[in-house]
Amino acid sequence: MEPVSIVNENKKQQKKRKANKVIGLLSNKKKLSLNLFAWLFLSPYLLFYSWFMLYPIVKGFIISLYEWSIGNERTFVGFGNYKSIFQDSFFWEALSNTVYFVVISTPTLVITGILLALIVNAKLKGTGFLRSAFFLPHILSISVISSIWVFVLQPYTGLMNAVLKSIGITTEIFWLDSENLAWLSILLATIWWTVGFNMVLFLAGLQEIPDDYYEAARIDGANSWHCFRFITLPLLKGVILLVVVLQSIASFKLFGQSYLMTNGGPGTSTRTLVQYIYETGFRSNEMGVASAMSYVLFLVMILFAIVQFKFMSKKD
């Protein structure tokens, strides 16, 4: 009896193994077709991504190692372009202008964003109107925004000075002709244009905080400030971090407002890094130098983002 059963067992196992093999083959074939499908479906996006994202990064670095101008011979200069931009005082000025704008604009735009979000979240009558009104300028293009503000701030015929005159400030102010006022003007236009975006992000964060928290705190005798300080702010921390990072990156890329409103002036005092890259590459036809500057801009921006994430998560 025993040997027979063993033989039977063996036969059973063999059958099982065979079946497994068939399944294995099938799934191999299936896997292959699945992989094929995966790459096929990915390829259109990957084509664009590698062509217009990865390749330019590599090519940009290569260009930065050459003396490269359209229509002329190229000469390899190694890191010569980098060396020369670090000795270029205009580059340092543009970089410090850019950092200055990041420093003045990020806190202002974050705080105004929170304030507007609090107003819109306060369940006032006409909340929908308030929200749309604050967001509205964001859908206009930077060209329209700059044009409106240039006219608003123009001396003699501008709205701003007319309003100031009516409240007793009679000196004619030349908003775009002095360094500090020019920065203030660019900042004003930027707030008006972009703070709606930050407001919407903060609003979404505020709406995720349950009402019970506030009710419980009120019952315990907390006032509005306590509620804001000990409930809203801590629970909004994630969104604040997000907005600070997004905002400082956006401010670092400042170009449209300053180019269209002041053209970098008076002199070069509001010329930003992006504008200097544009002028070096497209007006002076020094593509190699401009490319090196782009790389520096890129690295500084990544540093910014890393430092901010570290700093904000440490504060916990």
Task: Identify the CA nearest to 95 among candidates 297, 239, 230, 266.
Answer: 297
Alpha-carbon distance 63 to 111, whole Å? 41
Tell me which of 179, 255, 268, 312 binds other proteins, using CB under 8 A.
255
Question: Residues 78 to 117: which contact other proteins by CB under 8 A?
Answer: none
From the CB of 185, what's the least distance to other proteins, in Å? Answer: 12
From the CB of 65, what's the least distance to other proteins, in Å? Answer: 12
Contacts 24+ apart (CB under 8 A), 289-296: 289/81, 289/84, 289/85, 291/60, 291/61, 291/63, 291/64, 291/68, 291/81, 292/64, 292/81, 292/82, 292/85, 293/85, 293/91, 294/60, 294/64, 295/60, 295/61, 295/64, 295/82, 296/82, 296/85, 296/95
Residue number, 105 or 161, with CB nearest to other proteins: 161
**The CA-based dihedral angle spanning residues 107, 110, 114, 115, taken in that order and rounded to the nearest 10 degrees:** 50
Question: Residues 25 to 54: which contact other proteins by CB under 8 A?
Answer: 34-35, 37-39, 41-42, 44-46, 48-49, 51-54
**CA geometry: angle at 145 spanning 140 and 150, to 5°?**
165
From the CB of 314, what's the least distance to other proteins, in Å? Answer: 21
The stretch near other proteins (CB under 8 A) out of 21-29, 78-86, 103-111, 249-257 is 249-257
Residue number, 23 or 136, with CB nearest to other proteins: 136
From the CB of 228, what's the least distance to other proteins, in Å? Answer: 13
Which residues on adjacent β-strands are paired with residue 76? 66
Does the footprint of other proteins cover residue 224 (CB under 8 A)? yes
Residue number, 158 or 183, with CB nearest to other proteins: 158
Question: Residues 120 to 139: which contact other proteins by CB under 8 A?
Answer: 122, 124-126, 128-139
Question: Residues 275 to 314: which contact other proteins by CB under 8 A?
Answer: 277-278, 281-282, 287, 290-291, 294-295, 297-298, 301-302, 305
First-to-last alpha carbon distance for the chain, in angstroms, is 74
Question: Residues 149 to 188: which contact other proteins by CB under 8 A?
Answer: 149, 151-152, 154, 157-159, 161-162
The token pair at 295 is: 């790389």
From the CB of 166, what's the least distance to other proteins, in Å? Answer: 9
The residue whose two tokens read 């896997």 is: 31
